Structure 1
């Protein structure tokens, strides 16, 4: 049996593409303060100002905002996702974001799919 378990894949950074036009439902799950903070992070080309394009990682990872954290408790608070649904939901979110930023047949998508599939 193959089990998919969500994990952040180093060198991707698709989630750091914050273009608000790609996320029209932001106001549904961000507080007004978080929305202001979110919009202040959007830089050139819709990328987060804290995303290091050369290293392809976050410069403030340990201090990143709540809305940047992919954890069961945060997803439950923000989106109403039960813990038992977390893996499937988070994986789907990542796949959608990677596809939107890099494309469905991108190196990033192939790498992501390889990393999340684990044999149990």
Structure 2
């Protein structure tokens, strides 16, 4: 069984372009929505994402909506803890595919890391 994990140097989830995520208001609080919009920078990338190193500059202090944790996903999306692994893998694959491509090195690295 594949096990989700974040792959360092990917950053696909740091592409925050609001037009790509039209349902933000359905799962973010008004305060989180305001924070989300304030984080959208050049070309839709998070202002805290270093595009050279592909690392988050505020990783240890990143907002709740940037964390893959069972309580967060239960609250935001109604995803039960036992479903989080599969849901997170699918989300990452979708984002990586959209940003870098289905056959990209990023997708290959992710699939290898999660043993998919």
| CA displacement, residues 56-95 of structure 1 (integer Å, 9 cap, x when unaligned) | 0100000000000011111111100001101000000000
2:8 aligned to which of 1, 7, 10 = 10
Q: Which runs of 4+ in 1 moved over 4 A?
A: none
- Structure 2 gaps, min length 5: none
Residue 79 in 1 paired to residue 55 in 2? no
| Counterparts of residues 86-97 of structure 1 (less than 5 Å) | 86-97=84-95
Q: Map 1:28-107 onto structure 2 (within 5 A).
A: 28-107=26-105
Question: Could you tell me how far apart the structure 2 residues matched to 1:117 and 1:87 are?
Answer: 13
Q: RMSD over aligned Cα, in angstroms?
A: 0.9
- Structure 1: 5+ residue stretches without partners: none
Bigger fraction of residues in strand? 1
